[in-house]
Structure 1
């Protein structure tokens, strides 16, 4: 009886585990320093890690891009209207599937975003 119970428990864990999709998303924490709307119904945010709000205030776009290049920042693309709460200065954690376009800063698709603070 104990063996049957142990087998049933093991089988239930196996079935439960098979029903869950494994996600291997990369992530980056940083501050949104730019938001732009592209012509094809896509928005992009430029996220730069390891910066303070003082580091990005009163900077022009070319200076922010240079900062992103130096600090390992990246552009993250998403459909217009999907993340309406995002704004410049928001501290976020962004998630993507690990693929990116070769540019500097790189361009990645945004799978998920967690807002840490505004």
Structure 2
């Protein structure tokens, strides 16, 4: 009886450990990009998008046209990130964010990616 109890406990601990490993591997599989939001696109009832450009300051984007902002994104590895309607409504141009995504992207320049999570660093 003790042997069966020990086997059951070992099996239970193994299963719980595997579940914990699966969760942590999902968290670490996301890629991240930190940058400044240079454009916000709102599409009625569909995905909304932000254009995030790393390694720039808010001063770099002032008085720029949309075409100039897109060119800046192309030169600095920026990307569009899509998210569902009603999510992240507080985003404004100039907000400093960290965007998490799964590594998939559409072949465009700048690329288009699905945001899995977005953290605001500063507004």
TM class by smaller structure = 0.7 to 0.9
Please report the RMSD computed on the Cα atoms of aligned residues, expressed in angstroms: 2.3
Q: Match of 1:73?
A: 78
Distance (whole Å) between structure 2 residues aligned to residue 117 and residue 13 of structure 1: 42
CA distance in structure 2 between the partners assigned to 1:37 and 1:13 by the alignment: 47
Separation (CA, whole Å) in 1 of partners of 2:94 and 2:43: 20
Give me the TM-score of the superposition, normalised by structure 2.
0.82
Equivalent residue number for residue 13 of structure 2: 12
Residue 62 (structure 1) aligns with: 67
Q: Which residue of 1 aligns with 2:51?
A: 46
Matched positions, count:
114
Richer in helix (by share) = 2
Structure 1, unaligned runs of 5 or more: none
Give the deviation of 1:12 after TM superposition.
3.4
Superposed displacement of residue 16, structure 1:
3.9
Aligned partner of 1:105 among 104, 110, 121: 110
Deviates more, 1:51-60 or 1:15-24: 15-24
Aligned to 2:3: none
Rounded to whole Å, the distance in 1 between the matches of 2:113 and 2:15 is 34
Counterpart of 1:26 in structure 2 is 31
CA distance in 2, matches of 1:110, 1:87: 16
Higher mean C-alpha displacement, 36-45 vs 72-81: 36-45
Query: Which portions of structure 1, spanning 4 or more consecutive aligned residues, are displaced by more than 4 angstroms?
Result: none
